[in-house]
Amino acid sequence: MRPPAQTVFLERQTYRRRRLIDLIKILPLIGLVLWLVPLLWPTEGAEQVSSANATIYIFAIWFVLIVAKALSVNAFNAGGSQKDDELKGDERGQS
Amino acid sequence: MNVGSLNALIAVCLIYVIFLFGVAFAAERAAMRGKGGLLKLPLVYTLSLSVYCTAWTFYGAVGYAARSGLEYLTIYIGPSLVLFGWWWGLRKMVRIGRSQRITSIADMISSRYGKSNILAVGVTVLAVIGTTPYIALQLQSVTTSFAVFSGAPESPGTLTATALWVAAGLAVFTILFGTRNLDANERHYGVVMAIAVEAIVKLFALLAVGVFVVWGIADGPSDILNRIDNSKIANWEIQGGRWAGLIFLSAAAILCLPRMFQVMVVENENEDHLRTASWAFPAYLMIMSLFVVPIAVVGLDLLPAGANPDLFVLTLPLATGNEGLAMLSFLGGFSSATSMVIVAAIALSTMVSNHIVMPIWLSTSDGNGATISGDVRGVVLMSRRISIVVVLLLGYIYYRVSGGGTALASIGLISFTAVAQFLPVLVGGIFWRGATRLGAIAGLTVGFVLWAYCLFLPSFGPDVVLSSNLLEYGLFGFSWLRPQALFGITGLDPLIHTVFWSISLNTLAFFLVSLLSFPEPLERLQGAQFVNIFEHSSRTPTWSGGVAKSEELMVMAQRILGAREAQVLFAREAERQGLSGVLPEPNAAFLQVLERELSGSVGAATAHAMVSQIVGGASVSVQDLMAVANETAQIMEYSSQLEVKSDELERTARQLRRANEKLLQVSEQKDDFLSQVSHELRTPMTSVRAFSEILRDSEKLSEEDKRRYSGIIYNEAVRLTRLLDDLLDLNVLENGRVSLHTQEAVLKEVLDHAIETALSGSEAKLKVERSKSALILIETDLDRLGQVFINVIRNAQKYCEAESPKLSIVITEDVEQVLVDFIDNGTGIPHEAQEMIFDKFARMNPQKAGGAGLGLAICREIMQRLGGDIAYLPGQGGTAFRVTVPHRMRMAAQ
């Protein structure tokens, strides 16, 4: 049961919404990469990263991610009504 | 501290617990009245997720930070990432949970793999084993904090007594609010509200201590940063493996922990709440971990070297003389511990009662238990209550056995590693249709054996469960089977070692066995539903009840809930909709209420299927599909019936068409007949008129002429009369109004009489020959049969053109009928005229015959009336007719 072929070009609003979903999807990956940066830090020797700086780094990522996430989710919620089709279409694209 | 402060502490605890009871009770009442407005806030959902932050977070995180620096952050980074990435996985899990009415993580996994009960039992047992240390941890933290706060000597006797009291109190609270009512959606509004309140309490408490430490003891953030630089955790010394491994572990845990699954999926009121939680819960976690390092650093600074860092949150305010803050801190820790234990106990008891107790009970009660609704509900509730007590008792026993000595963090991580074993099976089940039940069983088995062997059993210390010999030299002396150095890889952190080997071998076993095995039909069905959930379900499984009939729903509800309860429910809903009468509109809200009500008695899946059968479902479960399959069979049967009917209709139409053609033909014949009759009548009438005119107008007619003309008139009148007689006769015969006088006679006699009558008064000589076998008895209307014979013989007499006309009559007899053949030696009738001669007014040569041409038509009518026939018999040398006479006239001929 193949879904009917989807239109290739979407109207502006739908296009924006798709890109918003892309942002929502990519944020955790950005977070993961940034939070795995400490793997590169030396754990011994003179060039060790100080815990104070590490704390600031980690919490800064956290804070930025939360804000970005909150903004994007709010934007997503505001776009309301047509989300069902969006989600479905998007799922197909994924699988 | 003294006994007085201990009493004060107990009093505060009791007041706090009573307050929680009040909150839970109010929430439950509001939800019952359908007003749970607060519960519908995404904030409450987010706060309820904070059950992730247990006493381990509240006390343990500081201890963790004091020992290992920033490593504690991994425990909160993992869940934050999972929530940030809600779009990837959680969204799907929650959707599946809602549309499949999942009640626990065991239910989720067993549903996915063909509702396998073995799997459900396995997951339940493993979840209990994995959660028990965690519950023990909570008991331990409450108990120690109690001891520290009250300043009582930490004698093991008082500690265990306190632990027992705490366990018992928590059991009572959980039973009161976790099993107050049986609702198959497994939503516990009261509990959710209570843990949301506890979430605020613990956040507030930790923030208060943090603020006190940063601005009260230290001189603000910059001072704290300085202190960090000067502390023993000044530098980043975390192994990369631990950092990444623990982030993975905590991310897996938030998906797999039974209590997290309970609040995240089962108690989810609205999928949209997840979106808010996707940033709000990480924010909560961030704030919770914000002051951990400052508290740890300041604690390390201020408190004596031997002080337990796990209790800094409590001991710092106490040491600086802030008893009020210490009390708040104690309540925060108490909240963390109690909310975790309550939710975990509810989740585990649901699993134990649904997957272990109920199957056993149903199989032992001869299978008739399920039909008595009240009975089942009682049993379920009782089994849940007992399960709660058992779960807490297990936690207490673990606490006693382990001696409460191990650092909080390591116990928590042991639990995390246990439940993380669900991850491959869970994720594989949601995203991979090829995952099978056998694969899941294999993966889980491998994972848990490794977890127990490498982490859990050694955690009790050498020579408690595993001998130190085994720890050092491996199982059966194989060094590559050493629990903490599998395959000879030494030097790894034991936890990371276990996580790595158990998860990877778990996944490998799951994958390989799935590849090699073939799923059962139900597995494939469920697999397709889970993996393609977004294509199968609407956003939320609401009913579109436009077509539902309230009356049918009423009938069904009465059967399940009992007549009285169903009527009350319906009337209440009708009233809420503002309708008078007892039947509410079957709108989505009502149907959801009804379904929830029903599922308490017959289970969620069944209730759902029942409502959907009447309403026409919006989301499909396996039961639905089964029902659909049933309906499909019915539809197929119906369509085959339709096909039969349409065949029948076509046949009828064909018959009607034929009948119509016949009618048209008959109508034409009638027209022909009328014109023929008029023509036949006109000829004699013309002569009658002409001669009567002559008689009237000519006065000089001789007597002879007069007599001659009168004779003509008379003859024509006779001819007219005969014609009319014949017509009447034919009419009577055709309309079937003739009455037949059935008599019995010998055929020979009838024939003799007919010959005699036919030949009398005629000058022409016709020689009649008869075959001898004429002694046949027939039963029919003899006069009519005679009439036919006479007609046929007279025809031969009239039309036979032979020099010496001769008629031979041959009689043959078979079982059913007698055949009488009249064969003359004339010229016969040409082929094309053979059928026509039986038509009305058909005459071969009108000059010669005096008749109206109705004779043979009448004969055929008569013979058909008598159940026989008359037909031209070709190929006999002359004109030949065969009269078929049945032995016994059938009654049907009448």
Tens digit of each residue's pLDDT (9 = 90 or more) over B763-789? 667 788 877 665 778 888 888 888 888
Fold equal for B3-412 and B626-731: no
Q: What 3-state class would DSSP assign to B580?
A: coil
pLDDT at residue B551 tops 70: no
Nearest to A38 among B225, B235, B236 (CB): B236
More confident residue, B13 or B445: B445
- Which residues of chain A have a CB within 8 Å of the CB of B535? 88, 91-92
Is the CB of A59 less than 8 angstroms away from the CB of B286?
yes
Tens digit of each residue's pLDDT (9 = 90 or more) over B594-647? 766 765 554 444 455 566 656 654 334 445 455 545 555 666 677 778 878 888
In the structure, what pLDDT confidence band is assigned to residue A91 with cuts at 50, 70 and 90? Answer: very low
Q: What are phi and psi of B886, to 5 degrees?
A: -70, 150
Nearest to B239 among A43, A69, A84 (CB): A43
Chain A interface residues facing chain B, Cβ-Cβ under 8 Å?
21, 24-25, 27-29, 31-32, 35-36, 38-39, 41, 43-44, 48-52, 54-55, 58-59, 62-63, 65-67, 69-70, 73, 76-77, 83-84, 87-88, 91-92, 95
Minimal Cα–Cα distance from B233 to chain A, Å?
Answer: 7
Distance CA B471, CA B485 (A): 9
Beta carbons of B5 and B151 less than 8 angstroms apart: yes
Beta carbons of B505 and B444 less than 8 angstroms apart: no
Distance CA B459, CA B464 (A): 9
Nearest Cα to B2, choosing from B153, B139, B144?
B153
pLDDT above 70 covers a percentage of chain B that reads 78
Distance CA B314, CA B332 (A): 10
In the structure, what pLDDT confidence band is assigned to residue B6 with cuts at 50, 70 and 90? Answer: low
Distance from chain centroid for Cα B358: 23
CATH class held by domain B3-412: mainly alpha
pLDDT above 90 covers a percentage of chain B that reads 2
Is the CB of B80 less than 8 angstroms away from the CB of A49?
no
Q: What is the pLDDT of residue A81?
A: 43
Determine the number of helices (DSSP H) and then strands (DSSP E) in chain A.
Answer: 3, 0
B221 and A CB contact within 8 Å: no
Nearest to B535 among A54, A59, A88 (CB): A88
* CB contact burial B640-659 (16+ within 10 A = b; e otherwise): eeeeeeeeeeeeeeeeeeee
Minimal Cα–Cα distance from A73 to chain B, Å?
Answer: 6
Q: What is the pLDDT of residue B657?
A: 92
Q: What is the pLDDT of residue B656?
A: 92
Q: What is the pLDDT of residue A90?
A: 41
pLDDT at residue B479 tops 70: no
Query: Tokens 């300085």 correspond to what residue?
Result: B226
Tens digit of each residue's pLDDT (9 = 90 or more) over A3-44? 444 555 667 777 778 888 888 888 888 888 888 887 877 767
Test the B interface: residue of A49, A66, A71 with most B CBs within 10 Å: A66
Nearest to B236 among A25, A48, A76 (CB): A48
Domains in chain A: how many in total? Answer: 1
Q: What is the pLDDT of residue B889?
A: 59
Nearest to B275 among A38, A62, A73 (CB): A73
More confident residue, B469 or B547: B469
Test the A interface: residue of B81, B235, B285, B432 with most A CBs within 10 Å: B235
Q: What is the pLDDT of residue B4?
A: 56
Is the CB of B235 less than 8 angstroms away from the CB of A32?
no
- Which residues of chain A have a CB within 8 Å of the CB of B225? 52
Distance CA B882, CA B820 (A): 6
Hey, what are B452's tokens?
Answer: 């127990």
The parent domain of residue A81 ranges over 12-38+52-90
Nearest to B87 among A24, A31, A70 (CB): A24
Averaged confidence pLDDT in chain B: 77
Minimal Cα–Cα distance from B556 to chain A, Å?
Answer: 33
Tens digit of each residue's pLDDT (9 = 90 or more) over B632-670? 566 667 777 887 888 889 989 999 998 998 888 888 878
Hey, what are B874's tokens?
Answer: 């070709």
Minimal Cα–Cα distance from B209 to chain A, Å?
Answer: 19
Instruction: Evaluate whether the domain defined by B739-893 bears CATH number 3.30.565.10.
Output: yes
Count other C-beta atoms under 10 Å from residue A56's C-beta: 12
Minimal Cα–Cα distance from A16 to chain B, Å?
Answer: 17
Cβ contacts below 8 Å, chain A against chain B, sum to: 109
Distance CA B650, CA A28 (A): 67
> Does the ipTM surpass 0.95?
no
More confident residue, B580 or A29: A29
Distance CA B319, CA B636 (A): 81
pLDDT at residue B589 tops 80: no
pLDDT at residue B890 tops 50: no
| Domain layout of chain B by residue ranges | 3-412, 421-535, 542-609, 626-731, 739-893
Tell me if A45 is assigned to some domain: no
B84 and A CB contact within 8 Å: yes
Nearest Cα to B631, choosing from B616, B646, B645?
B616
Is the CB of A48 less than 8 angstroms away from the CB of B237?
yes
Distance CA B17, CA B774 (A): 121
Radius of gyration of chain B (CA): 53
Nearest Cα to B841, choosing from B665, B669, B680?
B680
Average pLDDT over residues B465-472: 63
- Which residues of chain B have a CB within 8 Å of the CB of A27? 84-85
In the structure, what pLDDT confidence band is assigned to residue B465 with cuts at 50, 70 and 90? Answer: low
Tens digit of each residue's pLDDT (9 = 90 or more) over B40-90? 778 888 888 888 888 878 888 888 888 888 888 888 988 998 888 888 888
- Which residues of chain A have a CB within 8 Å of the CB of B247? 35-36
Q: Please enumerate in sequence order all residues whose Cβ is within 8 A of that of B823, keeping only pairs 6 or more positions apart, or say none.
A: B807, B808, B809, B810, B873, B876, B877, B878, B879, B880
Nearest to A41 among B82, B236, B538 (CB): B236
Q: What is the pLDDT of residue B481?
A: 64
Which range is least confidently modeled, B31-35, B202-206, B285-289, B678-682? B31-35
Q: Which residues pair with B808 in a beta bridge?
A: B769, B823
Nearest to A65 among B276, B282, B532 (CB): B282
Radius of gyration of chain A (CA): 19
Distance CA B514, CA B441 (A): 10
Tell me if A84 is assigned to some domain: yes
Q: Which fold has domain B626-731?
A: Helix Hairpins (1.10.287)
pLDDT at residue B368 tops 50: no
B85 and A CB contact within 8 Å: yes
Burial of A19 (0-12, 13-18, 19+ CB in 10 A): exposed
Tens digit of each residue's pLDDT (9 = 90 or more) over B89-103? 888 888 888 777 777
**Residue-level length of chain B:** 894
Hey, what are B496's tokens?
Answer: 């990371």
More confident residue, B462 or A30: A30
B233 and A CB contact within 8 Å: yes
Is the CB of B70 less than 8 angstroms away from the CB of A29?
no
Is the CB of A32 less than 8 angstroms away from the CB of B88?
no
